[in-house]
Amino acid sequence: MALTDTAIRAAKPAEKPVKLFDEKGLYLELSPAGGKWWRLKYRFGGKEKRISLGTYPDVGLKQARERRDEARKLLADGIDPGEHRKAQKAAGEERAANSFEVVAREWYAKMAATWVPSHGEKIIRRLERDIFPWLGRKPVGDIGSPELLATIRKIEDRGRLETAHRALQNCSQVFRYAIATGRAERDPAADLRGALPPVRETHFAAITDPKEVAGLLRAIDGFTGTFIVKAALQLSPLVFVRPGELRRARWESIDLDAGEWRYFVTKTASDHLVPLSTQAVAILRELQPLTGRNQWVFPGMRDHQKPMSEAAINAALRRMGYDTKAEMTGHGFRAMARTILHEELGFDPAVIEHQLAHQVPDALGTAYNRTKFIKERRQMMQRWADYLDKLKAGADVIEMPTKGAA
């Protein structure tokens, strides 16, 4: 007789397993501990076999019969239900192992050692926030261009167009890694070129008029904030590196006796050398007794194990009365140097661009070289520091190009 829900609920366990049979090979097995398992007995290839169809009451009588019927359909098609289930499980595990998030984190782990920590942190946060929630569980080889674009559009719709471009670039890197490791056949991001509007180029606010520069330098000398931030402000115009590179400067990278600062530029993936003027060395020597035992030249105010906050320089400029959106930013010291070094001091733009660590190929197609124009760059950095001193002192500076300048 067929089973009923009443009979199942009334069934009691015994010292040995008890089997309550339904129809067409389906039965419920009661264990001595009280567990109730649905099982299907069938024959395949001349052998008697069994498969589990779930536990009662999670799987009720009606659902157990539906699962039985599905298994019998497989048998009618010459497929062993047990082997079919193993194949499905293996395929599911393989798909999970090859999900976009798994592959992306594997790619990130391999690449992170080649990036500065802050760069790597931004990439993984971007993926975790904007990509994984929608694509993370999907097999990397199954993701198509429309699906990827829909995810990237969510970032664009928040008004973060530049982040959308960066996220698309990171996804492309993950897909290319998946191709290289045999888990995908193509990069769907490649089909999305031109799908996003271009990012409008924005220029950082910068003071480039020598008279206004003089006022800024005097304001920096009169800054009443912390000694560490003041030193960073004083050094900013002398070295005109990217703000992130300045705040992450390490003492181990600086040779005060040689007057050199060497570090790796993440943005251009190249080593960089900054010749230090005597004025820059003097600032660093004065700072060294305070922070020299720390790895960071400019450690954070609250946590000395981290570098100075990325907002510290701009906050100091605002405290001095400068509008960081319209007048001057920490990044603006680069534009200041580039403009005045060429227009006022007459230095060769190629020398300036190399000191800015820009990737500007020359006639032979070679990109930035940290030692190229090094003699001219040393002379330029010292003349630049001397020029700034004269501006700050209020001298009527008229510079003429000399050897090393254009």
Q: Which of 306, 358, 370, 392 is catalytic?
A: 358
Cβ atoms 312, 247 nearer than 8 A = yes
- Cα distances from 155 to residues 123, 152, 162, 389, in angstroms, run 14, 5, 9, 46
* Helix orientation angle between 227-239 and 332-343, rounded to the nearest 10 degrees: 40
User: What element of type H or E holds 109?
Assistant: helix 100-111
DSSP code string of 305-325: TSBPPTTHHHHHHHHTT--TT
Q: Which of 230, 334, 377, 383 is catalytic?
A: 334
Instruction: Give me the amino acid identity at 386.
Output: D
* Helix orientation angle between 332-343 and 374-393, rounded to the nearest 10 degrees: 100
What does the block give as tokens for 248?
């992450």
For 334, the 3-state DSSP assignment is: helix
State how far Cα 92 lies from the chain centre: 29
* Residue pointed to by tokens 């674009």: 149
Distance between CA atoms of residues 52 and 205, nearest Å: 70
Indicate the length of the chain as a whole number. Answer: 406
> 334 catalytic, yes or no?
yes
Spatial neighbors of 9 by CB under 8 A, at least 6 apart, are none
- Cα distances from 228 to residues 194, 274, 328, in angstroms, run 45, 20, 20
Q: Which of 267, 285, 304, 325 is catalytic?
A: 267
Q: Fill in the DSSP letter of residue 191.
A: G
For 141, the 3-state DSSP assignment is: helix
- φ and ψ of 369, to 5 deg: -125, 125
- Is 312 exposed, middle or buried, given 0-12, 13-18 or 19+ CB atoms closer than 10 A? buried
Instruction: List the Cα angle 103/244/382 in 5-degree steps.
Output: 140
> 36 catalytic, yes or no?
no
Q: Which of 67, 68, 242, 354 is catalytic?
A: 242
What does the block give as tokens for 214?
């003089």
Q: Which of 230, 368, 377, 387 is catalytic?
A: 368
> 267 catalytic, yes or no?
yes
> 322 catalytic, yes or no?
no
Q: Which of 68, 126, 230, 331 is catalytic?
A: 331
| Catalytic center residues | 242, 267, 331, 334, 358, 368
